[in-house]
A and B are shown apart, each in its own frame.
Chain A
């Protein structure tokens, strides 16, 4: 096969996370067979699964949170008691000790004291189990993305994780579960069937917690009649609007309410474990709305949990779902305005294969449209930072460096502003302030590269012959390696995909 540099750039950037500087052969591999390079990862058994040492299951993490919360409560109670007894015998000194240590005065930055080898740093508060877990999960994800050969499967995981997003900001439960949710509900299915993915996501405790379904009670259920609490439509609405049919997918408010009734009782076992092992998905028949429900023109008899599962399975097969998913998929990987022919092609594959996501994914990378469309999309911040780490050939060890960058650039990990996830268009990521921040970050990263790095060589690693003459010249003419590296990271060849 003829060498295809432009195809290599598309393979690496549009479908993957960019070339790895440490391996230095990614561009050549991709150029010799771009489609094969992207496809290779898909056939590896369990390619999307992530099982790093120390990462725990959702029920185990639930127990960690419950333990942690109990500890905090006990400490607070002890502190309250101590304060009570202290109030009896006032003691100014103990009050002083409670004050936070004052940060070093900034005006002293250049005083002789500031010349000490290690400027005194405020002792950081030790991380609690929730923060530790979040970081460990983030590290495992970033390491996997950094080391993958092409990264296509990790890009798929990121896409589906954003499609079926939760927010780690919802509460302690969701922060500790964010990584486990992706590992347990998303990863096993990104190359499987959409219906299975949908079921796994909507039954995962993290999603039930994020969209409040554990609070939703069938009004005529035993619990509803007893406690006078009722439906919460949040999850049902987002399932149809954001996860499957799309906002104009042909459903009505009546359908939303129906689906909400159908999935009442979908919850997770709580701290006391009355319904099951704490932190596991359970069907609470006591909260489930009894009776048949009509949804999208079809009646679903009340058979308990299978009622909702049948409804989800049908929604997954709905033509609107095929169209909505194909559109989002092509928008993410190809263009803000997805080519209609490609969307139609993928939609057909989705429908005819009963939502086989591997078949749809293969159809994407077989389609010439997907390869020949101009590279107009901006890398999302996560892709930009991971691609940078890959080019530097550095295995991430401290997730904070990435998490901080993601916060700055407006894509905090697993923490979108709403259930619709992070935007997937250039308007969101090629904005003036964002671009300036990327430049600041690129300069900061570049200021730490050593003289042993030749940016001209790294441009070849990243873009090979597909690099433009202008970019090559800009890098060659930079006045230092550090500047050249910053310019490489900001070049269209590195920012666009």
Chain B
């Protein structure tokens, strides 16, 4: 059987901890006894790599908006970003604009320490979150491969140095991307509030269709009027949406990775990107999420200190969202999206894309941004040029049967 733990409520009442403190866990962080090939290279580089998985499928067209594309504004409708107005998007070049909730990323982009890969996707072309996440994290071309993840297999390809860190407390489950034969250790932020609002709202929706009595009870229990599933939009509630969770996880991870004998590689997963309804434009639900992600970048930058210059953060999601907004001012499951690269070792200030255009005929299945880049190629480029893993290993082991997908060049300074 899979490894699951029913560690739901140990001794909490005995210690007088409130039920709020149940809402812990969510991100995992790992380290191991492998050092990047460049760790002792002559130029003194000691690379750090952070992989951030955004679960739920990020709207790439809302994160880095193709404002110059004549079809964008109409497709994205009421939630489209604009050049002007009170919440103007940040122009990254004459065509693409960054969501205004990401000032840190904008600054890093200007400093050429952040880059965008647009119209990118994994090889997955269906619309199931689970399967899409399997493909993203396993590194295989199709779903159902759950034994190990590409980041773990990349680790195995690294030279085995002395154990750079040991004795970390094992935290919640390791993301698939980091599972496998290479040993990992976990760490859990001391208190990481869980983003439970979305789960509660989905449950409310199910109860309202299937079980009115439970719906009534749960609605009272949640004081759902305050959570605002109504048309008033989803206002953030302190302590419930995990406002500080991403920063907290980033801060802790950075602190650990900054140490000379600290882990060189980490993976984190953030939930909450499944924006089917009331996604929001420059402000709103997605804006909050992007703002927190942006804050996590800042935490990594300050926490890693001198190591920041040797760091690459890769942000990826299982797939994108539809180009057109739906009837509830959100977006549904789509295909092409963005990947973000951040860090002192990133050759940034660039938007890397073979832009497919947003004309109806150019959309994938008349719905989605058509992917023109394979995410595996982007990651291969990072693994090769940042950690020193060879092309053959990348094509056979890290991303099996991917010889046709070439590693992107020039991503690393």
Does B217 count as interface, using CB distance less than 8 angstroms?
yes
Cβ contacts under 8 Å, A487 to chain B:
199, 202-203, 206
| Distance to closest chain A CB from B94 (angstroms) | 34
Q: Which of A393, A448, A455 contacts B25 (CB 8 A)?
A: A448
Does B137 count as interface, using CB distance less than 8 angstroms?
yes
Whether the Cβ atoms of B256 and A115 lie closer than 8 Å is yes
Whether the Cβ atoms of B130 and A444 lie closer than 8 Å is no
Q: Which of B7, B166, B202, B219 contacts A448 (CB 8 A)?
A: B7
Interface of chain A residues 456 through 497 with chain B (CB within 8 A): 456, 468, 470-471, 474, 476-484, 486-487, 490-492, 495-496
Of the four ranges (under 10, 10 to 19, 20 to 34, 35 or more), the interface on chain A belongs to 35 or more
| Distance to closest chain A CB from B339 (angstroms) | 18
Cβ contacts under 8 Å, B174 to chain A:
450
Interface of chain B residues 173 through 190 with chain A (CB within 8 A): 173-176, 179, 187, 189-190
Which of A394, A451, A477 has the most chain B CB within a 10 Å cutoff?
A451
Does A440 count as interface, using CB distance less than 8 angstroms?
yes
Does A109 count as interface, using CB distance less than 8 angstroms?
yes
Whether the Cβ atoms of B217 and A408 lie closer than 8 Å is no
Of the four ranges (under 10, 10 to 19, 20 to 34, 35 or more), the interface on chain B belongs to 35 or more
Does A441 count as interface, using CB distance less than 8 angstroms?
yes
Does B41 count as interface, using CB distance less than 8 angstroms?
no
Cβ contacts under 8 Å, B2 to chain A:
393, 449-450, 452-453
User: Looking at the complex, which of A73-81, A314-322, A399-407 is the stretch in contact with chain B?
Assistant: A399-407
Whether the Cβ atoms of A115 and B255 lie closer than 8 Å is yes
Cβ contacts under 8 Å, B207 to chain A:
492
Which of B11, B206, B209 has the most chain A CB within a 10 Å cutoff?
B206
Which chain A residue lies CB-closest to B205? A474
User: Looking at the complex, which of A92-100, A258-266, A431-439 is the stretch in contact with chain B?
Assistant: A431-439
Cβ contacts under 8 Å, A21 to chain B:
1
| Distance to closest chain B CB from A412 (angstroms) | 9
Does B404 count as interface, using CB distance less than 8 angstroms?
no
Which of B22, B23, B166 has the most chain A CB within a 10 Å cutoff?
B22
Whether the Cβ atoms of B6 and A109 lie closer than 8 Å is no
Does A388 count as interface, using CB distance less than 8 angstroms?
yes
Which chain A residue lies CB-closest to B211? A492
| Distance to closest chain A CB from B142 (angstroms) | 15
Cβ contacts under 8 Å, A115 to chain B:
252, 255-256
Whether the Cβ atoms of B221 and A408 lie closer than 8 Å is no
Cβ contacts under 8 Å, A112 to chain B:
255
Whether the Cβ atoms of A479 and B3 lie closer than 8 Å is no
Interface of A is mostly: helix
Does B8 count as interface, using CB distance less than 8 angstroms?
yes
Cβ contacts under 8 Å, B8 to chain A:
385, 401, 404-405, 441, 444-445
Q: Which of A22, A450, A456 contacts B3 (CB 8 A)?
A: A450
Which chain B residue lies CB-closest to A378? B214
Does A101 count as interface, using CB distance less than 8 angstroms?
no
Cβ contacts under 8 Å, B19 to chain A:
408, 437, 440
Does B5 count as interface, using CB distance less than 8 angstroms?
yes
Cβ contacts under 8 Å, A451 to chain B:
133-134, 137, 146, 173, 175-176, 179
| Distance to closest chain A CB from B355 (angstroms) | 28
Cβ contacts under 8 Å, B6 to chain A:
385, 388-389, 392, 394, 396, 401-402, 445, 448
Does A130 count as interface, using CB distance less than 8 angstroms?
no
Whether the Cβ atoms of B199 and A401 lie closer than 8 Å is no
**Known contacts A394-B1, A444-B22; can you find 10 more A-B pairs with CB under 8 A?**
A110-B251, A402-B6, A404-B12, A408-B13, A436-B221, A437-B19, A440-B19, A449-B173, A483-B199, A490-B203
Which A residues form the contact surface with B (CB < 8 A)?
21-22, 109-110, 112, 114-115, 117-119, 385, 388-389, 392-394, 396, 398, 400-402, 404-405, 407-408, 426, 430-437, 439-441, 443-445, 447-456, 468, 470-471, 474, 476-484, 486-487, 490-492, 495-496
